[in-house]
Structure 1
Amino acid sequence: MDDAALFRDAIGFVRPLPEQPPPPERPRPRPVPRMAQRDEADAASEFRRALTADALEAGDALSYRRDNVPPRMLQRLRRGEFAAQDEIDLHWADMRQAEAMLREFLAHARAQGHGCVRIIHGKGLHGDSSAPVLKNLVDRVLRHRADVLAFHSAPANQGGTGAVLVLLAAKR
């Protein structure tokens, strides 16, 4: 007798298991929207390029005045003829912190009735990027605020191109 027959005699009758349906297939991976991802990346890089296209350099002076502000006021601001009633130093803050600090500072200064404030942003000589990040942030934020009448980089004895003097609208 062969081994298989001996084994069957020793085990006896074996009832076969009922047929089981096959296990479900692994779900297919979700499709990857490669074109949408590429479009997003292109849009983000275009946005970054647009932000840096007109970016200020380290030695550039900030300068802006609203149309209803006489040019003479900007000249006086440039020469430092207005006394800064308060100041904030944004050195060592990252962009998000600096923007929050700047907005809070301007709101507080206006609430206090200050007409002129100084913002120290630094010249941007020691940053990782080629353009001074905080200087460009300050320029962008100040241009979009309705309570800012004019601003200009401070005279050399008040910080030069590393600081900006800001004229604020009177509190209503």
Structure 2
Amino acid sequence: MEKMQSMEIFDEGLDEFLNELKDVKPIQQIDTVPTSHQKNTLAQQLKRQAIESTQNLTNNYLSVEKVEPVDPYDHISFKQDGVQQGVFKNLRLGKYKIDFVLNLQQNQFEQARTSLFNHIIDSHKKGDRTLLIKHGLGLHSQPFPALLKSYLHQWLQQMPEVIAYHTAQPKHGGNSAVYALLKKNQQAKANNRELHRQK
């Protein structure tokens, strides 16, 4: 008998409890975390650039092994398969607008190697097409004349971003400088496709 009464009391209590809960709505689950869309501060931008530069440094694959020496007064040139002869001729004649000038003349060997690698990667990302690279004649460089020019001749061929290069015209430094033509980056290719679609 007592057991029956306690069960009835329990049922009444449960009914009252459930009755109290009928207006309660479950909390909706939020899967997204709110973030603030603040612009990168100058410090953050500089930090990112420093990290990218360090990554470039560790990824620098430009060879420091034996190189074939070139004469200080030799013309150096190269073009990848697929580069049109007219494009190469315009590069050789210095007819393209120079987007960036890189002066390696006062650099030590490793400094020049790092600077060349980083600037070509950065210029390609920015969409630059034509670079003027000043390497100097290196008449008194050791262990042989035109050391940097010889390595530059080798390095530029090792970088897939460079599709052609040629010794510069006298007004841009002649035998002590070279024009380098970079391939279009993805953004430039997309812009080019869009331009042809509109025609």
TM score, norm. by length of structure 2: 0.58
1:148 corresponding residue in structure 2: 162
2:58 corresponding residue in structure 1: none
Q: Deviations over 1:62-88 (max 9, x none)?
A: 100001101222211111111111011
Match of 2:88 among 74, 79, 88: 74
SS in 2 for 1:167: strand
Alignment of 1:59-138 (within 5 A): 59-138=73-152
Following TM superposition, by how much is the alpha carbon of 1:92 offset from its aligned partner in structure 2, in angstroms? 1.9
Please, what is the CA RMSD of the aligned residues? 1.3
CA distance in 2, matches of 1:154, 1:122: 11
Q: Deviations over 1:30-80 (max 9, x none)?
A: xxxxxxxxxxxxxxxxx74xx2xx321100011000011012222111111
CA distance in 1, matches of 2:124, 2:137: 26
- The residue type equivalent to 2:125 in the other structure is A
Structure 2 stretches lacking a partner, 5+ long = 1-64, 187-199
Provide the aligned length of Structure 1 versus Structure 2. 122
Following TM superposition, by how much is the alpha carbon of 1:133 offset from its aligned partner in structure 2, in angstroms? 1.1
Q: Deviations over 1:84-103 (max 9, x none)?
A: 11011001211111100000
User: Which consecutive aligned stretches of 4+ in structure 1 deviate over 3 angstroms post-superposition?
Assistant: none
Residues 95 and 137 in structure 1, CA contact (< 8 A), matched pair in contact too: no
TM score, norm. by length of structure 1: 0.67
Following TM superposition, by how much is the alpha carbon of 1:131 offset from its aligned partner in structure 2, in angstroms? 2.8
More helix by share: 2
Structure 1 stretches lacking a partner, 5+ long = 1-46
